Amino acid sequence: MRRPIEDYALIGDHQTAALVSRTGSVDWLCLPRFDSGACFAALLGDDEHGHWRIAPTDADVCTRRAYREDTLVLDTEWDTPDGGSVRVTDFMPQRDHAPDLIRVVEGLRGAVTLRSTLRLRFDYGSVVPWMRRADGHHVAVAGPDSVWLRIEPEVPCEGRDFTTYTDITVAAGERVTFVLTWHPSHETCPRLLDVDQALRESVEDWRAWAAHCRYEGPHRDAVVRSLITLKALTYAPTGGIVAAPTTSLPEEIGGVRNWDYRYCWLRDSTLTLGALLAAGYLEEAEAWRDWLLRAAAGNPDDLQIMYGLAGERRLPEYEVEWLPGYEGSAPVRIGNKAVHQRQLDVYGEVVESLSLARRSGLATRAHGWRLQLALMEFLRENWHREDEGLWEVRGPRRHFVHSKVLAWAAADRTVRALEEDPDLPGDAECWRELRDAIHTEVCERGYDAERNTFTQSYDSRELDAALLLIPRVGFLPPEDARVVGTIDAIRKELGTEEGFLRRYSTAEPAADTAAGAVGEAVGDAAGEAAVDGLPGDEGVFVVCSFWLADALHMTGRTREAEELFERMLALCNDVGLLSEEYDPVAGRQLGNFPQAFSHVGLAGTAFTLFGPDATG
């Protein structure tokens, strides 16, 4: 059985990332990019699928671990029964050419014997490389991939069972460094790295970056950690931000709700941009905005809900049958066929992001307004259509209320832009009529007067946590009785005793729905599928609970919002990381990890409650 999801820490170099467990094992690493094949895939299988552990002989979990303050440099320490103590420092320096994973073993007290077990398996654990010695390195080669291991000072290694074992003993003050470097197999040996310089510069660079954070309220350490995590999930060459560095970590242990999140979602754009701007990271915000413009360019009919790191459009989904999945949660998926879905809310997200960028003073892009008008022309003809909605349901399409509200927001922001800048081309009256038409229809068909709440979709009784965003986008003011009623209904029907929220109900099947094609494909043993077309259940959705805290604050219930925020902070693991979901019964994290949207929610709610513009 793998370690719990919350037992992992993240290290990365702004182009890929690794997960390191409390046992000192790197169980997940894709090289050279976030979306490349994994060379360590034990996270989704067992040690035979690739991992790299450095730990004292016969030791299990570490005694303590922590990031160095305001960095992504991880220190893991073990105290041994005979009084010894040792530290392993893990980090990935911002790359110059090739990606490096560096592990520094340092004796702290007494003498400690450790073992390094390096089991490389390319292509998600399916390819065993050929190992050899060359130029003082241990070299693993298979197909297009090559990994070079350098150990200083040189120590004997043993190759056995396609695994490299290294036993070392360090006394207080002694160090042994391991440098693992990937490069294309047709290229020559990578340059030698100065480990001391790389460590020093990594610490300095991260701390200099963190020092720019403008947040000075309570729990600043958690906010900064969330922003560092968001930076770590940014693909530096393009500015795109991946939803998570992992694939197929389950929303239900043993279930089929396992997705690949190593891509960039348009749905995250507005909240991500807002968090970066609020924190003072204008360069990152501009890079994200520019990535958005490039990805969304083209025919508005072809706008996708997600793209690859550089804006790639084809993300074919397939199953990796040789991996059993995290704790048996199969299938393991690579790619994401939700890329083909229709989600009308993304048009609103893109327009809202462009509007936010203009209001915040980011350097304008001339083609940005042309793109916005093109998106609006598409919405004018298509806003009334059904779609799969924010949560990418794999059941039948519906008239999701959140999608309509975001279409309204797009029209509203376009009207405001034309009113504020008469020099912009466009027909404000046209978009004003569209805005009013959408508003009227949503209030008539998406509102349940009997229960005083908006619903997940037209003519439905189901609820959806995304409805908490209605006052945030300005569709209705916070004090409107329908907004307050919606918040209360969501807390009652989707909330737990702790106040955490599910995003929607998975237990109660929709009356007009049979399992969708995908639901039937991934499993029909669980019986009739719910609204999302999938069998099984999931945990509470982390970002939704942050949305609830925001909504409570906006409706004058600030103390309740702050109490919920405190409970959400308690869900972070020991190094401050959050996954996509949480199981309140088992008390463990679920879903892909760490999740950008969860950390955007944490930082955003902190600014809402305690930032300079907070009101209570």
Q: Nearest 5°: phi and psi at 484? A: -60, -40
Angle value at C-alpha 102, between 101 and 104, nearest 5 degrees: 155
In this predicted structure, which of 176-180, 267-271, 374-378, 592-596 has the lowest mean pLDDT?
A: 267-271
Domain boundary among 147, 174, 207: 207
Which residues contact residue 472 at a Cβ distance below 8 angstroms, ignoring those fewer than 6 apart?
Answer: 547, 550, 551, 554
Statement to judge: residues 364 and 435 lie in one domain? yes
Question: For the domain that residue 23 is a member of, what is the CATH number?
Answer: 2.70.98.50
In this predicted structure, which of 60-64, 509-513, 557-561 has the lowest mean pLDDT?
A: 509-513
Statement to judge: residues 460 and 379 lie in one domain? yes
Instruction: Show the domain range for 359.
Output: 212-610
Position 583 pLDDT exceeds 80: yes
Going from the C-alpha of 280 to that of each of 87, 410, 559, 590, 604, the distances in angstroms are 34, 25, 27, 31, 13
Going from the C-alpha of 530 to that of each of 188, 396, 455, 508, the distances in angstroms are 54, 10, 16, 6
- Contact between 187 and 114 (Cβ < 8 Å): no
Of 253, 292, 261, nearest in space to 276 by CA: 292
Statement to judge: residues 493 and 552 lie in one domain? yes
Statement to judge: residues 381 and 476 lie in one domain? yes
Statement to judge: residues 506 and 572 lie in one domain? yes
* Mean pLDDT across 386-405: 92
Which residues contact residue 544 at a Cβ distance below 8 angstroms, ignoring those fewer than 6 apart?
Answer: 465, 466, 468, 494, 501, 502, 503
* Mean pLDDT across 297-321: 94
Statement to judge: residues 231 and 177 lie in one domain? no
Return d(Cα 356, Cα 410) in angstroms, integer.
12
SS percent in the chain: helix, strand, coil, step 5: 35, 20, 40
Statement to judge: residues 137 and 278 lie in one domain? no
Of 308, 285, 325, nearest in space to 592 by CA: 325
Domains held by the chain: number:
2
Cα four-point dihedral sign 497, 574, 563, 581: negative
* Mean pLDDT across 544-558: 98
Statement to judge: residues 147 and 241 lie in one domain? no
Position 549 pLDDT exceeds 90: yes
Q: Does residue 615 form part of some domain?
A: no
Question: For the domain that residue 291 is a member of, what is the CATH number?
Answer: 1.50.10.10
- Contact between 467 and 454 (Cβ < 8 Å): yes
Domain boundary among 140, 175, 207: 207
Q: What count of residues does the chain have?
A: 616
Which residues contact residue 60 at a Cβ distance below 8 angstroms, ignoring those fewer than 6 apart?
Answer: 23
Q: Does residue 474 form part of some domain?
A: yes
Statement to judge: residues 117 and 240 lie in one domain? no
Domain boundary among 176, 207, 238: 207
Query: Average pLDDT of the chain?
Result: 93
Q: Does residue 499 form part of some domain?
A: yes
Q: Does residue 84 form part of some domain?
A: yes
Q: Which helix (H) or strand (E) holds 113?
A: strand 111-119
Cα four-point dihedral sign 491, 497, 503, 507: negative
Burial 164-201 (b: 16+ CB within 10 A, else e): bebebebeeebebbbbbbbbeeeeeebeebebeebbee
Statement to judge: residues 182 and 221 lie in one domain? no
Distance, CA of 322 to chain centre: 25
DSSP collapsed to 3 states, 262-299: CCEEHHHHHHHHHHHHHHCCHHHHHHHHHHHHHHHCCC
Q: Which residues pair with 86 in a beta bridge?
A: 78, 107
Q: Does residue 616 form part of some domain?
A: no
- Contact between 408 and 442 (Cβ < 8 Å): yes
The structure's pTM equals: 0.94
Of 535, 538, 539, 537, nearest in space to 522 by CA: 535
Statement to judge: residues 424 and 488 lie in one domain? yes
Using pLDDT thresholds of 50, 70 and 90, give the confidence band for residue 472: very high
Return d(Cα 6, Cα 65) in angstroms, integer.
13
Statement to judge: residues 223 and 201 lie in one domain? no
Cα four-point dihedral sign 186, 192, 196, 200: negative
Q: Does residue 471 form part of some domain?
A: yes
Structure tokens at 575: 């190094």
Structure tokens at 472: 């945030």
Q: What is the pLDDT of residue 2?
A: 80
* Mean pLDDT across 420-435: 94
Share of the chain above pLDDT 90, in %: 85
Residue 240 DSSP SS3: strand
